[in-house]
Structure 1
Amino acid sequence: MCFMEAKPLANQDEMADHLINKMTRNIVLVGHMGSGKTNVGRLLAQKLELNFVDSDKVIEDVAGISIVDIFDLYGEDEFRKLELREIATLLDQRPFQIISVGGGAFVQPDCHKIIKEKGLSIWLQAAPETLVSRMSNFSSRPLLKDKDPLTVLKQLSKKRDPYFEKADLIVNTDRLELTDSTQKVMDSLDHFINQQTGSPS
């Protein structure tokens, strides 16, 4: 696990090329709902000229119904089985891509294991208050349906943060705008890859 404060680099195109050339695994964004996985993932993929995929969207396309409906009709256990299958498929795809996974995926033992084995996991960390402020449609979130979002997210943080802390990279995006969060992820990736390959920062 690597935790760092990001440092801006002057030549962003050069950094993007460096990251692409040194990538050996899919990049997997993990974290709570509202952490910005989808938005950061899209912008990161754009900057690195890679494909972006949201595992929840893939699951909805495969099932033909929304995540909320899957939970309501079949329960969380069935959803987790489908989630594991689709994430495993995504991790085996080439060329490498940016993958955003649902908030509970990295907490599930089998899913956690396969992400750690086949992906480079990045936790987009943020305080519960920030997470709530970033969300608008609470009814589309099964765990927030008809509940107080802040209370639920505080409870989820206590339960899930110990798992997220095992990610390869931890990037604190608390109170950061999208562009700043994405840049911080890129800087952290650059630092991490340089450490792994022995390249100069």
Structure 2
Amino acid sequence: MIWPLPGDCGARRASASAIRPGRLTRSHTPGVAEACRLILVGMMGSGKTTIGRLLSERIGWPYLDNDELLRRLVAATPRQIAARSGEERLRRSEAAALRLGLEQPPPCIIGAAAGTILDPASRRAIQACGLVVWLRATSTTLQQRAAGAAHRPWLDSHAAAWTRRAVEERYPLYGAVANHVVDVDRTAAEAAAVEIGEWLSSTHPECRISDRAAPNLPALV
């Protein structure tokens, strides 16, 4: 992969710490192009795809899901990549899919694969390229939602222990890049989409919000 991303994603900001639900991190003031690119981050089971699509319908921006971008790049699912080439190759492929999404012109919504937060270059790109919303859930909620997940083979066994370790490792990293936090344990997907849309329109009125649904995966540039 070639980093950094294009010039409109070139800004950098300081990390935030101890982010509370709904708090906006003001250490970075995005330009218009950045502000009109919304990036959803969080663990598998946090609802990125569901909330991203509902939000797309609500504000009229296309939703780019990391797994769908991955299939565009390599014509394979995450499980297939992991089975054929291992988890490390999957992580590199997911980072490439994230890059492809971040290269698309705004406005758009991007759902980042959960593990991309572990890669420093991906974290810098996420920070540089738009507004970041962390969909935060407890490990209990994540375990319940991920039970029987078909696309992450490392959850086939020892899911509870894996999830607890991943939460401990990743949550400080999600918090460091987030502009806004939604605690999805207590928030239905529809309500989360409404909250994010209202937050976006109130904090970044320069971004054009439409009441017309956008295609979920438009032609990529």
TM-score, normalising length from structure 1? 0.79
- The one of 14, 35, 45 equivalent to 1:24 is 35
Structure 1 residue 119 displacement after superposition = 2.2
SS of 1:95's equivalent in the other structure is: coil
Distance 1:87 1:5, change over 3 A: closer
CA contact (8 A) 2:137 2:183 kept: yes
Q: 1:131-174: CA deviations, max 9, x gaps?
A: 223335323213312x1322221111001101011122222111
Helix, strand or coil at the partner of 2:150? helix
1:176 deviates by 2.2
CA, structure 1 residues 193+131, in 2 after alignment: closer, same or farther (shift >3 Å)? same
Q: 2:169 corresponds to which letter in structure 1?
A: K
Q: SS at 2:162's partner residue?
A: helix
Structure holding more helix per residue:
1
- Structure 2 partner of 1:157: 167
CA contact (8 A) 1:171 1:188 kept: no
TM-score by length of 2: 0.73
Q: Quickly say closer, same or farther: Cα 1:188–1:95, change in 2 above 3 A.
A: closer
Task: Give the paired residue count.
Answer: 181
Structure 1: which 4+ aligned runs deviate by more than 6 Å?
Answer: none
Residue 57 of structure 2 aligns with which residue?
46
1:80, 1:131 → 2: CA distance?
Answer: 20
- Determine if contact 1:138/1:149 at 8 Å carries over to the other structure: no
Name the Cα RMSD after superposition: 2.5
Q: Which position in structure 2 is the counterpart of 1:101?
A: 112
Local SS of the residue matching 1:33: coil
Percent identical pairs in the alignment equals: 25
Q: Which runs of 5+ in 2 are unaligned?
A: 1-15, 24-31, 208-221
Which moved further from structure 2: 78-87 or 28-37? 78-87
SS in 1 for 2:114: coil
The answer to whether the 8 A contact 2:59-2:197 is kept is no
Q: Deviations over 1:105-146 (max 9, x none)?
A: 12211111111111211110011111223335323213312x
Cα separation, 1, equivalents of 2:203 and 2:183: 15
List aligned pairs for 1:106-185, cutoff 5 A: 106-145=117-156, 147-166=157-176, 167-185=178-196
Q: 1:77 to 1:39 in 2, by over 3 A?
A: same
